[in-house]
Amino acid sequence: MDKKPIIFANWKMYKTVEESVRDSLKIDSSIRNPHQVEVFILLSYTSIYAVSQALRGKSVKVGAQNVFWEDSGSYTGEVSPLQLKDAGCEYAMVGHAERREIFGEDYGMIARKFKAVMRHGLIPILCVGESEQERASGKTEEVIRNQLEVAFGGTVPPGGQFYILYEPVWAIGTGVTPTPQEANHINLLVAEVIRGLIGKSAERARILYGGSVSEENISKFLSMDHIDGVGIGKASLDPENFARLVNACIRD
């Protein structure tokens, strides 16, 4: 399996189409040895097509921050995996903590999204992670285990890779993180739980960390045995800053 570090930007609800195209191109042209890393940007729906066109044949790829599970139908306001693929996406995130907390998504819904994305040959990024209270009451491992059990319930579609993002809710946008060793421990737990749930298919998983990743800590997270990549929110919004973070992980 390809073991390049995976580094993605989650631009959340920021940037116009023009800004997204300009900043994506800036990132693409600033990465030193692009074949050493897998880099993609999760964009607002409105920017996906324009950015994927602008990045054609380049190394940085495009993904969505959310998706619906049906292919088409009367689902006002939703976007299907087919539509994302058509617009140039290769990745789709499911179950980000902001979707769970603000929009009430539960793991039943997230499981359907996860499987729909895989069925269409996109790479899903499934988010798991405990809240501050769950951590304080010593429930981190139980929460992660439950989230994975629901997401992987039933059958998992055959096909390519899937990414799991361990993103503790208390670390998102706060500047506070678990230690690289703590994150590594949870990522190992994720790997073991998935192996227990789906056996050999678990080899398709890559397990990432997200939450306040910065220039100071990115190399430390990526040096851990069970952290295959990182997801970056705030520190990815400035294209020069994000490119610097990516370049910090590239050997000359």
Query: Is 132 labeled as catalytic in the residue annotation?
Result: no
Query: 73 in the Ramachandran plot: left (φ > 0), alpha (ψ -120 to 50) or beta?
Result: left
Alpha carbon distance 1, 111 (integer Å): 25
Partnered with residue 42 across adjacent β-strands are 10, 63
Query: Is 167 labeled as catalytic in the residue annotation?
Result: yes
Q: Which C-beta is closer to ligand 13P: that of 119 or that of 234? A: 234
**CB-count burial class (<10 Å; 0-12, 13-18, 19+) for 102:** exposed
Distance of CA 216 to the CA centre of its chain: 20
Query: Is 173 annotated as belonging to a binding site?
Result: yes
CB of 167 to ligand 13P, least distance (A): 6
Query: Is 61 annotated as belonging to a binding site?
Result: no
CB of 7 to ligand 13P, least distance (A): 11
* Beta carbons within 10 angstroms of residue 77's beta carbon: 5
Binding site for ligand 13P (CB under 6 A): 10, 96, 167, 172-173, 210-213, 231-235
Q: b/e for 59-73, b at 16 or more Cβ within 10 A?
A: bbbbbbbbbbbeeee
Nearest 5°: phi and psi at 160?
-90, -150
Query: Is 234 annotated as belonging to a binding site?
Result: no
Work out the angle at residue 92's Cα, subtended by the Cα atoms of residues 171 and 114, and round it to the nearest 5 degrees.
90
Q: Which C-beta is closer to ligand 13P: that of 100 or that of 115? A: 100
Task: State the catalytic residue, choosing from 38, 98, 134, 167.
Answer: 167
CB of 154 to ligand 13P, least distance (A): 26
Nearest 5°: phi and psi at 26?
-60, -45
Cβ contact 189:166 at 8 Å: no
Which tokens hold the place of 136? Answer: 């304080």
CB of 81 to ligand 13P, least distance (A): 19
Q: Which C-beta is closer to ligand 13P: that of 126 or that of 232? A: 232
Which residue lies nearest ligand 13P, judged by its C-beta? 233
Task: State the catalytic residue, choosing from 38, 70, 96, 132.
Answer: 96
Q: Which C-beta is closer to ligand 13P: that of 39 or that of 232? A: 232
* Residues in CB range of 105: below 8 A, 6 or more apart: 95, 99
CB of 140 to ligand 13P, least distance (A): 18
Query: Is 212 annotated as belonging to a binding site?
Result: yes
Q: Which C-beta is closer to ligand 13P: that of 10 or that of 66? A: 10
List, by residue number, the catalytic residues: 96, 167
Known binding-site positions for substrate? 10-12, 173, 212
Known binding-site positions? 10-12, 173, 212
